[in-house]
Amino acid sequence: MLLEKDFYFVRHGQTDWNLAHRAQGQSDIPLNAEGRRQARDAAKAAAQLKIGTICCSPLSRAVETAQIIQAKSGARIEIFDQLQECSWGEKEGDRRGAWYEDWKRGVETPPGAETYERFLQRACDAINQALEQPGPVLIVAHGGIYWAVQIHATRNLGESLPNAQIVKHTAPTESHPWWQATLVRQ
C-alpha cells in the first residue's frame, strides 16, 4: 500500500534500448539525444511545480533525467537504490516476449532475476521511502517501478508510461476516496 500523499512521477527519458524494445532492467543504459530533449521538456514543466525533493534511481538514465530537471527546479536530489528497475537476470537486453509474460504471471523467473512479486514489494517500499522526503516529491525512475503505482494508485493514461512525462498523483480524501492521476502539461 502506498502512503497517501500527493506526489509526482516521471519515467526517465528515452534510451536506445527503449527504441529497440529491449528489457533494460538494471543494465545501466544511458539516455540518447531524444531522451535528453524529453528530460529538458519535463524540466520546464517541473519548474512550475515547486518540487521539494527529487528522488531517483541510481541508474544513469534516471540520474541524468533527474539532474536535468533539478537544474530548472532547484530541488535537491536523493538517490534511492531500491528505485532501480527490476533485475531480469540473464534476460536483460532481450526483447520482451513469452518469457516476460511468464515472469509477470509468476510461472517462471529467469535465472538471476527478481520475482515479479518481490520486485513489486521492493518498488512499493521504495516509493513509500521517497514519499517520506520533504515534498512535493518527484520520483524519477522506471516503467517497472511505476507498476507499483498503477496497482496502488490507478491511473487512466494508457498501458505504459511514456518516457519523461510527469504524472501528478493526488491522494484519496474523504470527498474523493480514490487516487487521481493527471498528466502535467509540458
Query: Catalytic residue numbers?
Result: 12, 85
**CA–CA gap between residue 8 and residue 48 (Å, rounded):** 12
> Do the Cβ atoms of 27 and 88 come closer than 8 Å?
no
Which of these, 40, 32, 42, 48, lies nearest to 10 by C-alpha position?
42
Q: What is the CA 171 to chain-centroid distance, rounded?
A: 18
Furthest-apart CA pair in the chain: how many Å?
47
